[in-house]
Amino acid sequence: MKKFFATICAATLLIAGCGTDKPAPTQKPASNKIDLSAAKDGIYTVESSRDEKLGNAALTLTIRDKRIAAAEFTGYDLFGNVKGDDYGSLTGKDSADYKKAQVAVKAIKTYPAQLVETQDLSKVDAISGATISYGQFVETVKRAVAEASE
């Protein structure tokens, strides 16, 4: 009986292992390239979509001579309060929730400086633990550049 089960298991593995040599298709991430060639000088303020649990964000982007001269990015909690030193502290400042929330607060501060320095949205580093904030940043930069290019 053991030999029978061993044979069945080996046959199953052999059949399951057979197939196409093609790798499984992977979904390509959306490009984070931005094109400022048609952007007009100005100050553009846009808001992100609202995350049902974590709130939204706003970006003010200053464009001068087809370059990003300045960027300000602000995160807001569900109640419209700026995400700052108290963000995530409802369960206490020693809690894991607070520590994770503060990762997002710190990330929100770094994204604009990286964008101004590199002039390239695809070179702004996503920070682990701040995925929603990074997505909102990418979204708002693309919206602001689109508005500047109209």
Residue 116's domain spans which residues?
Answer: 34-148
Q: Look at the block and give the residue holding tokens 């001269």.
A: 69
- Is 89 part of a structural domain of the chain? yes
Output the average pLDDT for the chain.
84
Asked whether the beta carbons of 80 and 50 are under 8 A apart, the reply is: no
CB proximity list for 34: less than 8 A, separation 6 or greater? 120, 121, 141, 142, 145
Question: Which contiguous run of DSSP H or E holds residue 44?
Answer: strand 42-47
| Between 29 and 101, the higher pLDDT residue | 101
Whether the pTM exceeds 0.95: the reply is no
d(CA 117, CA 68): 9
pLDDT category at 33 given cuts 50, 70, 90 is: confident
pLDDT in tens, 103-150: 999 999 999 999 999 999 999 999 998 999 999 999 999 999 999 999
Q: How far apart are CA 84 and CA 24, in angstroms?
A: 42
Cβ distance 50 to 42 under 8 Å?
no
Computed over its alpha carbons, how large is the radius of gyration of the chain? 23
Pick 50 or 24 by higher pLDDT. Answer: 50
| Residue 61 included in any domain | yes
Residue count of the chain, please give it: 150
More confident site: 125 or 18: 125
Tell whether 4 is covered by a domain.
no
Question: Given the structure tokens 């602000």, which residue do they identify?
Answer: 74
79 in any annotated domain: yes
User: Any idea of the CA torsion for 138, 141, 147, 148, to the nearest 10 degrees?
Assistant: -150
- Residue 74 burial (10 A CB sphere; 0-12, 13-18, 19+): middle
Total domains in the fold of the chain: 1
Q: Residue 83 belongs to a domain with what CATH number?
A: 3.90.1010.20
Residue 74 lies in a domain: yes
